[in-house]
């Protein structure tokens, strides 16, 4: 399994209504936060970025990035489809 892969993917609605994206790794989550996120501020958003970087550097576990990503989604009112 690749570094940073998530055991359970997260599917969220992008900024385009009805368009969903599935994230299955920390690297994908980091890219989504940088390029496809509706807000670029907030405590959970900033923490999710830091946690993703820590995972990619081998300092944290992939599950930490997934949890931080979900908190950032909640903070930004991003719809997450339970998969």
Report the percent of the chain where pLDDT is more than 70.
Answer: 94
Give 12-40 pLDDT, tens digit per residue: 999 888 899 999 999 999 999 999 899 99
Q: What is the pLDDT of residue 1?
A: 39
User: Taking the chain, what is the end-to-end CA distance rounded to the nearest angstrom?
Assistant: 20
For the purposes of burial, counting CB atoms within 10 Å of the CB of 8, is it exposed (0-12), middle (13-18) or buried (19 or more)? Answer: exposed
User: Strand pairing partners for 11?
Assistant: 22, 81
Rounded Cα distance between 33 and 53, Å, is: 12
Note the pTM of the prediction, 2 decimals.
0.92
> So where are the chain's domains?
5-81
Calculate mean pLDDT across residues 66-81.
96
Q: What is the pLDDT of residue 44?
A: 98
pLDDT of 69 over the 60 cut: yes
Calculate mean pLDDT across residues 40-61.
97
């Amino acid at each position: 399994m690749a570094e940073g892969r998530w055991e359970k993917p997260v599917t969220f609605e992008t900024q385009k209504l009805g368009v969903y994206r599935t994230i299955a790794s920390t690297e994908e989550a980091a890219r989504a936060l940088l390029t496809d996120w509706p807000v670029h501020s907030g405590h959970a958003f900033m923490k999710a970025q830091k946690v993703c970087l820590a995972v990619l550097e081998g300092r944290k576990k992939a599950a930490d990035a997934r949890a931080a990503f979900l908190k950032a989604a909640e903070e930004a009112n991003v719809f997450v489809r339970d998969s």
